[in-house]
């Protein structure tokens, strides 16, 4: 097979007319020509940090959609399914990904369970981490979220880091807001990347310490605008990632969109493509070709170097996408799960008034961080209720692994005027999270999820929708494009109900993520992410 066009030689920072010859899945030679068609041949894009589970798709379905946008590989943390099903879940992801021509590179989850302040479905201990890292298909130790454990010499944390070092595999970091001497100690302990920087100043601190900074632009957390200009001087230590990407966003684009936005900002194209294509392959030692003779024939043909819309995507010399259509066939995906809780009643979500002021979670659009606000409680007949006028709504997290009383809180900035939305995608332990206007709607939304043994639900006056997620309560086993359509419908319903966030279900999924400051809700109670301890729902009266 031969492909002719303008060769984008990122390594040598030049573009020239040429011909790529492919044989037996590898690039045999690249020949410079006098002229060639105005189409550009370049290495494929790599998402340097993503949880495939958050696409709501099994890996094989994710691949079918991603290749359309020129993505040939991902660095994938199976932390989410690990929290539900342990190493059995991790291997499910690896084996499902092997069913399709796509280069998934899974890591060994480092923090399962993520904290002791929530109920997870499984634990991945030090020996299991070591066993995973011994597998050549496992490329790295996934994000070390327990940065206090790193800094304060937690034995288990450091044993996992040493296991990665023993196997010669890098360790991903996760330390939002960490700077100065603490950041230095974190890097010196072996953390090599961070995708949690939300200011340029924080990212620059970490870059100067030699850490790779991953510019994250997903469905919930968006840090591109804050960090992109750093590519001008630090492209050798930067990558692009999505972290979490819902199917409707994946249908529209992937890493190619970030490359286009960076070029539109005037950033040198070779700096952009080094981050988008080259750095992840080198850092994680991926078996992904970089458009050089002898490399696997993993490359894309794009219409231009401004929009990066692929005309064709090749993996190991196989055409896997062409002109906006996937050429990867669907494969059956078995169902594995763990869901052991019974249906709930409206009364289960009542909150007795024990004061007049609440510690309220304030959510922010496009961010995982939250802020604590102290706001007046709305009390009716001795019970605290939602207030749509002030947009302070009731929230609950329900243990999905065993019977337990729901944990209750209140949250601001969801904007719902009626009904409720619920999800079994609730980082990190994936219990059921719900936000709603009234107890009856909250119970109804939660019960739709329980009956489906996982899913996203929305209920409003006279309407209810459920997107079932039977694989671990995290993923559908259906066609990715159909899942995207169903997700769009339920997202639209939530916005008809008043939701003001760009991605209300994605934001909801992070409201139980205790390792991100500053206030969250687990199934065990309201949590202070700054002090790493539980806090009371009611503020102290002054």
For residue range 436-452, what is the model confidence (pLDDT) as tens digits? 999 999 999 999 999 99
Question: Considering the domain boundaries, does residue 454 fall inside one?
Answer: yes
pTM: 0.94
End position of a domain, from candidates 251, 272, 287: 287
pLDDT at 462: 86
- Which of 174, 178, 184, 107 lies closest to 138, judged by CA? 107
pLDDT at 515: 86
- Which of 312, 203, 205, 246 lies closest to 469, judged by CA? 246
DSSP 408-439: EEEEES---SSSEEEES--TTTT-EEEEESSH
- Which of 462, 467, 461 lies closest to 491, judged by CA? 467
pLDDT along the chain (542 residues), means of 10: 98 98 98 97 98 97 98 98 98 98 98 94 98 98 92 95 98 93 95 95 96 91 94 98 94 98 98 98 98 98 97 98 98 96 98 97 91 97 98 98 97 98 96 98 98 98 95 98 97 97 93 93 96 94 66
Looking at the fold, whether 277 and 393 belong to one and the same domain comes out as no
pLDDT at 221: 79
Helix (H) or strand (E) holding 59: helix 59-66
From the number of C-beta atoms within 10 Å of its C-beta (0-12, 13-18, 19+), residue 229 rates as middle
pLDDT at 542: 62
Give the CATH number of the domain where residue 256 resides. Answer: 3.20.20.140
Question: Considering the domain boundaries, does residue 37 fall inside one?
Answer: no
Question: Considering the domain boundaries, does residue 32 fall inside one?
Answer: no
Question: Considering the domain boundaries, does residue 241 fall inside one?
Answer: yes
Residue range(s) defining the domain that contains residue 247 = 44-287
Domain count across the chain: 2
Tell me the longest C-alpha to C-alpha distance in the chain: 83
pLDDT at 368: 85
């Amino acid at each position: 097979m031969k492909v002719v066009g303008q060769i984008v030689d990122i390594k040598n920072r030049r573009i020239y007319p040429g011909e790529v010859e492919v044989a037996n899945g590898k690039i045999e030679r690249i020949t410079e020509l006098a002229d060639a068609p105005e189409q550009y041949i370049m290495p494929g894009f790599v998402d340097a940090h993503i949880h495939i589970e958050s696409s709501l798709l099994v890996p094989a379905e994710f691949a079918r959609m991603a290749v359309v946008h020129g993505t040939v590989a991902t660095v994938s943390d199976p932390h989410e399914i690990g929290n539900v099903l342990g190493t059995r879940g991790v291997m499910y992801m690896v084996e499902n990904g092997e069913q399709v021509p796509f280069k998934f590179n899974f890591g060994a989850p480092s923090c399962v369970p993520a904290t002791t302040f929530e109920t997870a479905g499984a634990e991945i201990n030090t020996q299991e981490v070591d066993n995973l890292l011994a597998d050549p298909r496992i490329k790295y130790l996934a994000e070390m979220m327990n940065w206090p454990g790193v800094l304060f010499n937690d034995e288990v944390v450091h044993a996992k880091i040493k296991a990665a070092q023993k196997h010669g595999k890098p360790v991903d970091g996760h330390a939002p807001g960490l700077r100065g001497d603490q950041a230095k100690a974190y890097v010196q302990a072996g953390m090599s990347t961070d995708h949690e920087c939300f200011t340029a100043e924080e990212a620059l601190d970490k870059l100067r310490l030699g850490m790779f900074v991953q510019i994250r632009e997903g469905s919930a957390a968006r840090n591109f605008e804050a960090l992109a200009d750093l590519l001008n001087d630090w492209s050798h230590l930067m990558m692009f990632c999505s972290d979490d990407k819902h199917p409707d966003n994946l249908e529209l684009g992937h890493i190619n969109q970030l490359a286009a936005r960076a070029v539109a900002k005037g950033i040198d194209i070779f700096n952009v493509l080094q981050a988008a294509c080259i750095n992840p392959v080198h850092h994680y030692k991926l078996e992904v070709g970089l458009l050089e003779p002898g490399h696997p024939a993993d490359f894309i043909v794009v219409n231009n170097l401004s929009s990066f819309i692929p005309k064709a995507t090749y993996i190991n010399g196989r055409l896997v996408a062409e002109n906006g259509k996937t050429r990867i066939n669907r494969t059956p995906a078995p169902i594995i799960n763990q869901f052991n809780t019974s249906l709930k009643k409206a009364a289960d979500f009542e909150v007795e008034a024990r004061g007049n002021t609440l510690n309220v979670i304030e959510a922010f659009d496009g961010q995982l961080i939250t802020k604590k606000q102290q706001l007046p409680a709305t009390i009716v007949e001795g019970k605290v209720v939602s207030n749509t006028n002030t947009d302070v709504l009731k929230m609950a997290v329900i243990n999905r692994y065993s019977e337990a009383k729901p944990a209750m809180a209140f949250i601001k900035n969801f904007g719902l005027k009626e009904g409720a939305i619920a999800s079994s995608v609730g980082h990190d332990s994936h219990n059921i999270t719900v936000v709603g206007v009234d107890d009856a709607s909250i119970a109804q939304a939660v019960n739709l999820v329980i009956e489906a043994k996982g899913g996203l639900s929305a209920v409003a006056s006279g309407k209810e929708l459920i997107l079932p997620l039977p694989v671990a309560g995290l993923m559908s086993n259906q066609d990715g494009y159909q899942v995207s359509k169903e997700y769009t419908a339920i997202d639209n319903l939530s916005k008809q109900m008043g939701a003001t966030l760009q991605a209300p279900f994605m934001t909801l999924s992070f409201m139980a993520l205790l390792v991100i400051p500053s206030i969250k809700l687990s199934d065990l109670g309201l949590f202070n992410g700054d002090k790493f301890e539980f806090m009371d729902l009611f503020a102290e009266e002054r």
